[in-house]
Amino acid sequence: MISHELRTPLNAILGMTEGLKEEVFGALNERQTQALSTIESSGEHLLGLIENILDVSRIETGKITLELASVNMEEICTDILAIISPEAAKKNIQLITDIQPNLTSANLDRRRITQSIIHLMSNAVKFTNNGGKVKLKITSILKSSEIPWLVIYVIDNGIGISAKDINTLFQPFVQLDSGLNRQYEGTGLGLVLVKKIVEQHGGKVKVKSEVGKGSCFMIELPYAK
């Protein structure tokens, strides 16, 4: 019910905005078109925020059940790049992939893990300056228990995160203290969602970062929960 009440008016606003941009209701001048583009992008941002809030709430209340199945990580990687590439192209950011050959299929919720990697990749592009690089690396390792783990790295050479900020990185609605980071506003809900999805799989999210040099986010997932 709450989901419907939040989405319906916002979808109506976005639908009307699209109609106005297509000049369904009459011709527009350049300033009007630019104003509508601002409304549209702000509305889409708000819709994404609502989806994240609802997803975090569902996970915390146990209303999201993982749909585990054998997943081919190369296929997931292809899907993710198709989504992220246009965003990266706007900033002339080079996307690099390094997928371990013959990687065994993992038992995961494909939609949720894809969603998590997209969040990390989108953040990496957002916090990387024009002409930078973002790398997606997927490999497997054996831990001390000799249980195979899938490890997903998202690496960038962007603005980086201070050690102080890393401690609050996965808390919702926390604004990072770094003046550099404040250029890029966000709620942090995407990272909260990533952490909760990964933990629901029995995995972990780790971060290594240095201000001015970039960040490396790591998702570690057991092959079978």
Domain spans, the chain: 2-60, 69-222
Report whether 215 contacts 157 (CB < 8 A).
no
- Mean pLDDT calculated for residue range 41-63: 74
- Residue 163 makes CB contacts below 8 A (sequence gap 6+) with none
SS3 content of the chain, % helix, strand, coil (to 5): 45, 20, 30
Residue 78: pLDDT above 70? yes
User: What is the per-residue pLDDT across 84-99, written as a single tens digit (0 to 9) for each?
Assistant: 999 899 999 999 999 9
- Residue 116 in this model has a pLDDT that exceeds 90: yes
* pLDDT at 177 > cutoff 70: no
Mean pLDDT of 124-137: 95
> Are the C-beta atoms of 217 and 135 separated by less than 8 Å?
no
Cα–Cα distance list, 154 to 120, 174, 219 (Å): 7, 22, 9
Phi/psi at 128 (5° precision)? -110, 135
Of the candidates 174, 125, 176, 182, the one whose C-alpha atom is nearest the C-alpha of residue 154 is 125
> Which range has the top average pLDDT, 35-39, 133-137, 165-169?
133-137
Please say if the pLDDT value at position 173 is more than 70: no
Better-scored residue on pLDDT, 21 or 3: 21
pLDDT confidence tier of residue 182, bands split at 50, 70 and 90: very low
pLDDT at 46: 79
pLDDT band, residue 166 (cuts 50/70/90)? confident
| CA 160 to chain centroid | 17
Whole-prediction pTM value? 0.76
pLDDT at 180: 47
Q: What is the mean pLDDT of residues 36-62?
A: 77
Please list, in sequence order, all residues whose beta carbon lies within 8 angstroms of the beta carbon of residue 79, skipping any fewer than 6 positions away.
Answer: 114
CA distance 71 to 100: 15
Q: Is 69-222 CATH 3.40.50.300?
A: no
Q: Give which of 120, 126, 123 is closest to 153, Cα–Cα.
A: 120
pLDDT of the residue at 92: 97
Q: What is the mean pLDDT of the chain?
A: 84
